[in-house]
Structure 1
Amino acid sequence: PKTKDGKKWEQCVLYPTGSSNDTLINCPNGWVYDQSIFGYTYTEEANLVCASKPKQSWIATLMQCSCFALLIIGTFADRFGRKTTASFVTIFLFLTCLITQIIMQWIPMTVEMKFALLLLNQFASGLSTAAFSLIFILVLELTSSSHTSVAGNVALVSFTIGECIVTLFAYLAKDWQILKWANTAFIGLVIPYLYFMPESPLYIYSKRQYVQLERLLRRIATTNKRKEEDWYPVYQEFLKNQSSKLLHVNELTFSQKAHRIVTHRPTVVKLLTSALIGFTTLMLYIKISYGLAEMSISPYLGILIGAAVEAAGYITGSLLISTRLARKGSFILMATLTIISVVLIPIILKHSPIATVFIAQFGKFAISGTIIVSWIYVPELFPTSIRGSANGFFIAFSRIGAIIAPIINASTSNEYLPYTFYVPAGLTVIVVLLTLFLPETRCKGMDDEEDYAIN
């Protein structure tokens, strides 16, 4: 039979004798898969089609859900250090992926058992975002406040280069398990560097470990070919000027820190606004990318074009925050351009599909610029002592937006599809208005401490 719209043949059921008077049955002889684009996929191996098709979304969703672990991992980064936590997460995800792939590749098992192992593998793979966010914080804290835009830009543009490399792996492999091995091997190459990676000086300073801080600063100065007299007198004067409160205050317990944060209204407002920023920006990013994925070109080429547009957005955003617009102005400008693009897409789609593609690409450029500004701006809003936890809160809520966007797209009929653009655009307007109440951080050092006495 044909589908309900009468345009295509039904792929999941058939009439046993060819007569429309018969009762429909499931296809008894399995399915034939088109391997010309993606090659041999897990969908083909496990027949995740028809009644089993929802399991495809489990695989993608679980990868996004692993970022909720940042709610815990972020607090570990504040307690044990950026380097220690990032190293642990990276090694854990590498070993988990390695072990599960060995089992899936060479140990015979049922389809259900392999599916469960793949879900575990996907969850571990999703921790790469957690590791990246920790490294991103470390990069910002290793950089002076006047150069955080450059550091953030390098980190996120490198992310788009990684997208291109994974796309190349997928194009060459044409087999889901070979692609998994290539990605895991790529992660393994990073592990030796973890030993040489420095800890954040700001984290060490916040813990008042001054001997270790001096050792690290000397190592950084040596690497940058700075003489002792160029920095050490300044460092000594810096320590001498520290308040007695900072030098002698007792370390608070976790519960005391949590109570101080949740009872401090400015911090709570910044946390909630940051969560909404993360939710909205990533939901729009996925929404726009979801539409671009349906372009009638090679998906590999589509990803490469998207990565180039994304990199251009990151570079533009990082340049803007160094101008008079600073963090808030740059975020508001790029978010406004995103709103305009998202509102125009369903309007122009009715008249010109080609123009819609260009508007959507501009929308991806704008949302990418918005994202890089938010990724730099949000960590700067919080003191070093809670920056990892606050950033974990920000990233975790952004993943909720990433999960919701494709679900809304898949469950909305064409009649109401424009509303899936207008509602996120309206939410972004609210985010822009809330951003007006946040402080500017351009001239604020990342070592500044929050005054919890002001509420």
Structure 2
Amino acid sequence: MSTPPNEKYFEKVTCYHYYFITLLYLTKLPVFWHVLSLLFLAPPMEYTCKGATNGVDQCPCDEPVWNTSVFTKTMQTKFNLICENKWLFSFSQSMLFVGTLLGALSFGFLSDKYGRLLSFTISCLIVSLAGTLLVFMPTAPTFILVRCIEGWGVGGSIVTAYVLLVEYCGKGYREMVTALYHIPINISHLSLAGISYFLRNCDHFMLAISIPTILCVFLYCLTYESPKWLIDNEKYARATFVMQKIAKFNGDSPEEMKAEMEAYYAENNRTKHTKISFWEIFKYRKLTVYLLCMSLIYFTCGMGYYGVSQFIGKMSGDIHKNVAISGAVLIPGTIASAFLLKRLGRRTFLMTTTFLSGVGMIVVICIPKHLASVRVAMACVCNCFFFMSFIIVFLYGVELFPTSIRNSVLGFLSVLSRVGQIVAPPINALPETVSGAIFGAMAIIGSLLCYPLPETKNMELPTCLEDTNNLPRGIPTG
């Protein structure tokens, strides 16, 4: 089968790519603010009980007097979350993760059926509306319910935007673009601390991160649907229209592009391809092995990255400074990943980063406790390796599976990653030696599970089952 005209055209970076990628990168800033927002919606708060002579955070307490020297209004002060109700603000974060889990799964299926761009803009609309509604919720239970809906939109926007980006990129620069795609996430992490620094009222803070998210919806009017998705779903007229518009944007001939597309359709209609649904994966041994291996690797990356992040978050000091630093330390790892992906194969890179993060965690628990700064520094290195694993595993998962199930698979794998995030806090509640050993052992097991996977570097994104079956073990030279 010949290469589709859109993929040949996208082998070079065009003016439209700069325009499209810039817009898509900018959407990551407001979306990822919502992922970490609880850090400043429910920061550590002290109170004294009215009428008490001494002591702070006393229980029971009917009339708490809050220390508002740092934050003037938080989730705790708004809903009086103390003593027996204190668990509700951590539960709200768990419900956000439940929402992202459901959003990744449901929007993964929806985008495979109805398109990447439409699904992405709907999910961003949900994030913006739910985030704004949070301000007006009168009780903690209604707040938590809307928080789950907010997470639903966040999960959907993450998986749909990533696949949309990958399908627009040629194989020669796909790894660079997708690795650098995480830089806006790091900037979002950093800038969230700045927003909270100037807005110490949780309602004002929530409005500040929710209203800008509505701008992401305009991406639907400013860009086009993935041509690869359109072609593989036999929406030929729409695909031709999109490619003509992109050619015109770049100063190329729309008529020539139309002729190439029509010639490809004529040839493609004579070729039989096996298209499958997500549930048919288990009929095929290779796809089943790939899915099972990637599932455990995704789970490990989610558990390890968020688990080690929570360890670093226990450092004492100013909350705004700590959050900003924890975001900043990830930027070198993101930049390094962009360059290493150009040199290393997907399997080799993922196997190396997961193995090093696992060995690093074993080293952390072997360092004497009185060398606290050394332990924290080593944990930061491990966290960086876990984050690099996240960068490569997202790209790898997208490149392994054909178009008809690509977003569904990524949604499913993202669910496993979220489960890992949910499991991380209980593991961190165990003794340090035990939790560190679990993170380390799981990462080493994850590195071993990379071995059965094929190599996808320098390969076109698979369109059908036959393309996936033909993926090589080594890096193609062509």
TM-score normalised by length of structure 1? 0.85
Q: Look up the match of 2:28.
A: none
The 3-state SS of whatever aligns with 2:342 is: coil
The equivalent of 1:392 in structure 2 is: 411
Structure-2 residue corresponding to 1:364: 383
Amino acid at match of 1:52: N
Match of 1:212 in 2: 238
State how far apart, in whole Å, the 2-side matches of 1:383 and 1:216 are.
Answer: 21
Residue from 187, 196, 220 that aligns with 1:161:
187
Matches within 5 A, 1:7-406: 26-69=59-102, 70-101=104-135, 103-104=136-137, 109=138, 114-126=139-151, 127-228=153-254, 235=261, 238-242=264-268, 244-246=270-272, 257-323=277-343, 325-406=344-425
In the alignment, is residue 421 of structure 1 matched against residue 454 of structure 2?
A: no
CA contact (8 A) 1:331 1:373 kept: yes
Q: 1:352 to 1:259 in 2, by over 3 A?
A: closer
- The change in CA–CA distance for 1:359 and 1:453 in structure 2 (over 3 A counts) is closer
What's the CA shift for 1:452?
9.6
Q: Report if aligned partners of 1:161, 1:307 keep a CA contact under 8 Å in 2.
A: yes
Shift of 1:369: 0.9
Deviations 1:163-195 (A, max 9, x none): 222221111111111111111112122222332
CA distance in 1, matches of 2:252, 2:380: 44
Indicate conservation of the 8 Å contact 2:75/2:89, yes or no: no
Deviations 1:184-235 (A, max 9, x none): 1121222223322311111001111222111111222222333458756654
Letter in 2 for 1:124: I
Following the alignment from structure 1 to structure 2, what is the Cα–Cα distance between the partners of residues 35 and 311?
33
- Aligned with 2:96: secondary structure? helix
Q: In structure 2, what residue type is equivalent to 1:427?
A: M
Structure 1: gaps spanning 5 or more residues: 1-9, 19-24
Q: Pairwise CA RMSD of aligned residues?
A: 2.9
> CA distance change for structure 1 residues 291 and 274 in 2, over 3 Å: closer, same or farther?
same
Structure 1 counterpart of 2:26: none
**Contact 1:61 1:403 (C-alpha < 8 Å) held by counterparts:** yes
Give me the whole-angstrom Cα distance separating, in 2, the residues matched to 1:17 and 1:167.
Answer: 35
Distance 1:344 1:187, change over 3 A: same
Contact residue 108 and residue 159 of structure 2 kept, 8 A: no
Distance 1:12 1:453, change over 3 A: same
Distance 1:155 1:124, change over 3 A: farther
Task: Kindly indicate whether the alpha-carbon contact (under 8 Å) linking 1:260 and 1:452 is maintained by their aligned counterparts in 2.
Answer: no
The alpha-carbon distance between structure 1 residues 199 and 98, as it changes in their structure 2 partners (threshold 3 A), is same
- Structure 2 residue aligned with 1:442: 457
The residue that corresponds to 2:17 in the other structure is none
Q: Is the CA contact 1:282–1:402 (under 8 Å) kept in the aligned structure 2?
A: yes
Equivalent position amino acid for 1:182 in 2: A
Partner of 1:3: none
Q: 1:326-358, CA deviations, whole angstroms, 9 ceiling, x for partnerless residues?
A: 111111121122112211222225131111221
Match of 1:60, as an amino acid? Q
May I ask how many residue pairs the two structures share in their alignment?
420
AA aligned to 2:174 is T
* Cα separation, 1, equivalents of 2:202 and 2:157: 23
Query: Over residues 364-385 of structure 1, what are the superposed CA-to-partner deviations in whole Å (9 max), with x where a residue is unaligned?
Result: 2111111100011111010010
Give the deviation of 1:47 after TM superposition: 2.7
CA distance in structure 2 between the partners assigned to 1:71 and 1:28 by the alignment: 42
Q: Secondary structure at the match of 2:172?
A: helix
Residues 234 and 37 of structure 1, relative CA distance in 2, 3 Å threshold: same
Secondary structure of 2:459's aligned partner: coil
CA distance in 2, matches of 1:428, 1:245: 43
**Partner-residue secondary structure (3-state), 2:329:** helix
| CA distance in 1 between partners of 2:278 and 2:113 (Å) | 13
**Kept in 2: contact 1:264–1:452 (CA 8 A):** no
SS at match of 1:153: helix
Alpha-carbon distance, 1:98 to partner: 2.9
Q: Residue 438 of structure 1: CA displacement?
A: 0.5
1-side partners of 2:96 and 2:446: how far apart?
26
* Structure number with bigger Rg: 1
**8 Å contact from structure 1 (residues 68, 396) kept in 2:** yes
